[in-house]
Structures are given as C-alpha cells and as structure tokens.
Amino acid sequence: MLLRTLVLFTMIFIAGCDETEVRFTPSAECEQGIIKLIDTADTSIDAAVYSISNDNIVNALYRAHNRGVKLRILTDRLQASGKYSKVPEMYKSGLNVKVNTANKIEHNKFAVFDGAKVVTGSYNWTTSATKSNSENCLFILQKSDSVADYQDRFNELWQKNSYVKSDKWLKKRLEKQFQE
C-alpha cells in the first residue's frame, strides 16, 4: 500500500511539473523535441548517445554548429561503425565528436543543452527509434540539480575518453569506408 501510494504521488508530481515532458515512440515526438532543443540552444550541446543515424537530428546538429553553438558528442564505437551511422560523416565535417574508448559500451542516451535542459531516456538518435521502436524520452526543461548531475556526468565521460584514441579510431574507420 505504501509503495503504491509513493508511486502514485511520484506520477502526479511529475505530471504536474511544467519543467518535465515525457514522450514515447513510435512517433516523431522524441525526435521533434530533441530538434527543438538543438535549434534553440544558444551556447552548448553535450550529447552522450549510443547510436546516431537520424538525418533530421544530425541536420539540426549541423545547424547548431553553423551558428556557433559549442558541440561535444560522445557515442559508442561499435555503433559508430554501423552501416547507417552518421558519426564518421559528422567527424569528417568537423563536428566535435568522440567515440567511446574508456568503457566497453557507451550506452547513454542523454544530452544537455546550454547547461540548463536535458533529454534522456531509452531513445536512440535513430530513424528506427522514431518510426519503429518502443522507446521513451524525458525532457527536463528547467535548470535543476538533475540537469547539473547530467552535466557533471557528461564532463566526466568526455574527460575519460581521449581525443588521441578516438581520432585514431575515427580516421581508421573513414579510411575503411573510403575503400568500401
């Protein structure tokens, strides 16, 4: 009974907070919400995302880069080598991308926008996540301790993954792509 009351209270609290939004797929809601945050970011976007192959999200990242937003994108090495991955293209185009070299898998799926907003959840930045998969995303739209925790975690992951190892891997991947 106590557990049920606590769960109900938590659901009512989250639903009643204007600073959070929950979205589910298959639908374009997660994709559109992420693009909106990218398009409205003023200074920085820090993303730790397992898989990146969604053209719409990647195009929004290019727009942000072109308007001078500081990007830091950390992704999984194995996923970055996938047939549909946009990571090699993003790296080649000059976006600030690192592949994970510190942990076995970079399985996070979160991004921090201007140090003030976060998107997190199971949603991968892929077309399949939007159109076919059952996934979720939670938007935290107001600066809070939770946003600061995500920023701290991203900074820690970014620091642990070296440019030297990441660049070496990405250059090797680009060479292999060119040969295919």
- Structure-token pair, residue 80: 């970055």
Q: Which CATH class is domain 26-179?
A: alpha beta
For the stretch 102-158, pLDDT in tens is 999 999 999 999 999 999 999 999 999 999 999 999 999 999 999 999 999 999 999
What is the reported pLDDT for 180? 60
For the stretch 129-145, pLDDT in tens is 999 999 999 999 999 99
**How large is the average pLDDT for residues 34-51?**
98
Are 75 and 106 in contact by the 8 Å Cβ rule? The answer is: yes
Task: State the Cα–Cα distance between residues 98 and 75, nearest whole angstrom.
Answer: 7
What's the mean per-residue pLDDT of the chain? Answer: 90
Are 51 and 82 in contact by the 8 Å Cβ rule? The answer is: yes
Are 70 and 44 in contact by the 8 Å Cβ rule? The answer is: yes
- For residue 17, pLDDT over 70 is answered with no
- For residue 7, pLDDT over 60 is answered with no
Q: Identify the residue with better confidence: 54 or 169.
A: 54
Q: For 168, what's the count of Cα atoms within 13 Å in the CB-facing half-sphere?
A: 5
Picking from 93, 99, 112, 96, the residue whose alpha carbon sits closest to that of residue 151 is 112
- For residue 12, pLDDT over 90 is answered with no
What is the reported pLDDT for 105? 95
The residues annotated as belonging to the active site are 107, 109, 114
> If pLDDT is split at 50, 70 and 90, which confidence band does 5 have?
very low
DSSP assignment string, 28-74: SHHHHHHHHHHHH-SSEEEEEES-B--HHHHHHHHHHHHTT-EEEEE
Angle at 119 between CA 114 and CA 125, to 5 degrees: 110
